[in-house]
Amino acid sequence: MEYLPLFAIVFIYALIGVFGLCVGSFINVVISRLPIKGAFLSSNRSQCPGCGETLSPIELVPVLSWLMLKGRCKHCNRRISPRYPIVELLGALFAVTCFWYYGINHLAPTVYIVLMILLAVTIIDFNTSEIPDSLILALIIPTAAAIIWLPDISSISHIIGLFSVALPMLIVSLIIPGAFGGGDIKLIAICGLMLGWQLTLAAFFIAILLGGGTAVYLMVSGRRKRGQHIVFGPALCAGVAVSIFFGQQLIDWYLSLFFY
Ligand SMILES: [Zn+2]
């Protein structure tokens, strides 16, 4: 893109940002409806969960509607969660980041799809302590693409990745019931197939650090009682996302501590 004039580059990034806002808006619908049986496929227009009023197109503009309405429903004044504009902004931020990092090629949309599915998984798991199977199934598409398009990762690595973390997690869960959720195990299995075993191990260590750190913080700050369940899905999603971008650097750095 270096040969393009600056305004053209800014225009392309702006377009990608707007596209990302719209994808974020769709992910909000997924987050709201997927956990409710049958709601996702219904053709009902979006409604206010407070008063049931159908929202007009002007109330559905990403980010701007929330700002204009000052985060409240126009009809019943009920508070609208800041989750809506935040997910929309993340949709834009991830789109611009993928495009900037990978350039104009097939990897940018592939990684973007993965990040947006992981974002939906993170918030749904956080809200409901469940990871919908449909989102795990949706990851099969970018996983197939990754297997075809990532020549650095061997087929053997992809296949070992399927089991490398998921199998130990399954065994631990069989010994200590409830140690990990079934959704967490399925999630890391499909992500392992996508990333190969090296990046999957990196993702898991990042998740353990994040999840463990959060658990210790919540316990020390008194927000969580001992024995209370904390969801691991969001930490896994963050670990996978970080590993996609920085996993190889982390592995190289870690190995350099032992081999000069
Ligand atoms: Zn309302």
Tell me which residue of 153, 151, 142, 134 sits closest to 108, measured CA to CA: 142
55 Cα–ligand 1 center, Å: 9
State the distance from the centre of ligand 1 to the C-alpha of 46, rounded, in angstroms: 11
Ligand 1 mean position to 60 CA, how many Å?
Answer: 13
Ligand 1 centroid – CA 58 distance (Å): 15
Residue labelled with tokens 């159908």: 54
Q: Tell me, what's the pLDDT at 164? A: 95
Q: How far is the CA of 16 from the centre of ligand 1 (A)?
A: 31
Calculate ∠ Cα 125-230-195, nearest 5°: 55
pLDDT of the chain, 260 residues: tens digit per residue: 667 888 998 999 999 999 999 999 999 999 999 988 777 777 778 888 788 888 888 888 999 999 999 999 989 999 999 999 999 999 999 999 999 999 888 899 999 999 999 999 999 999 999 999 999 999 999 999 999 887 778 899 999 999 999 999 999 999 998 888 899 999 999 999 999 999 999 999 999 999 888 888 888 887 766 556 678 999 999 999 999 999 999 999 988 888 76
Mark residue 71 as left, alpha or beta (left: phi above 0; alpha: psi -120 to 50; beta: remaining).
Answer: left
CA of 93 relative to ligand 1 center, distance in Å: 29
Residue 130 CA to ligand 1 centre (angstroms): 27
Paired residues of 72 in beta bridges? 79
Residue 3 per-residue DSSP state: T
Q: Are 240 and 118 in contact (CB under 8 A)?
A: yes
Distance 191 CA to ligand 1 centre (A): 39
Q: One-letter amino acid identity for 67?
A: L
Q: pTM to 2 decimals?
A: 0.91
How far does residue 149's CA lie from ligand 1's centre (Å)?
46
Closest by CA position to 215, among listed 234, 199, 243: 234
**What is the Å distance from ligand 1's center to 49 Cα?**
7
Q: In this predicted structure, what is the pLDDT of residue 204?
A: 96
Using the mean position of ligand 1's atoms as its centre, give its distance from the Cα of residue 186 in Å: 37
Enter the tokens of residue 232. 């691991």
Token digits of residue 257: 């501590």
Instruction: Please give the distance, rounded to the nearest whole angstrom, from the Cα atom of residue 117 to the centre of ligand 1.
Output: 28
What distance in angstroms lies between residue 54's CA and the mean position of ligand 1's atoms? 9
Measured CA to CA, the distance from residue 115 to residue 166 in angstroms comes to 20
Write down the pLDDT at residue 192.
97
Structure tokens at 208: 């353990």
Which amino acid is residue 64, in one-letter code? L
Write down the pLDDT at residue 44.
75
Distance 57 CA to ligand 1 centre (A): 15
Q: Find the 21 Cα to ligand 1 centroid distance in Å.
A: 23
Please calculate the CA angle 209-92-153 and round it to the nearest 5 degrees: 55
Exposed/middle/buried for residue 139 (C-beta within 10 Å: 0-12, 13-18, 19+): buried
Ligand 1 centroid to residue 216 C-alpha, Å: 38
Q: In which region does residue 31 sit, left (phi positive, over 0), alpha (psi from -120 to 50) or beta (all else)?
A: alpha
Using alpha carbons, select from 23, 21, 70, 28 the residue that is nearest to residue 49. Answer: 28
Check if the beta carbon of residue 225 is closer than 8 Å to that of residue 123.
no
| Ligand 1 centroid distance, CA of 122 (Å) | 26
- Residue type at 82 in one-letter notation: P
Q: What pLDDT, on the 0 to 100 scale, is given for residue 58? A: 87
What is residue 224's predicted lDDT score, i.e. its pLDDT? 67
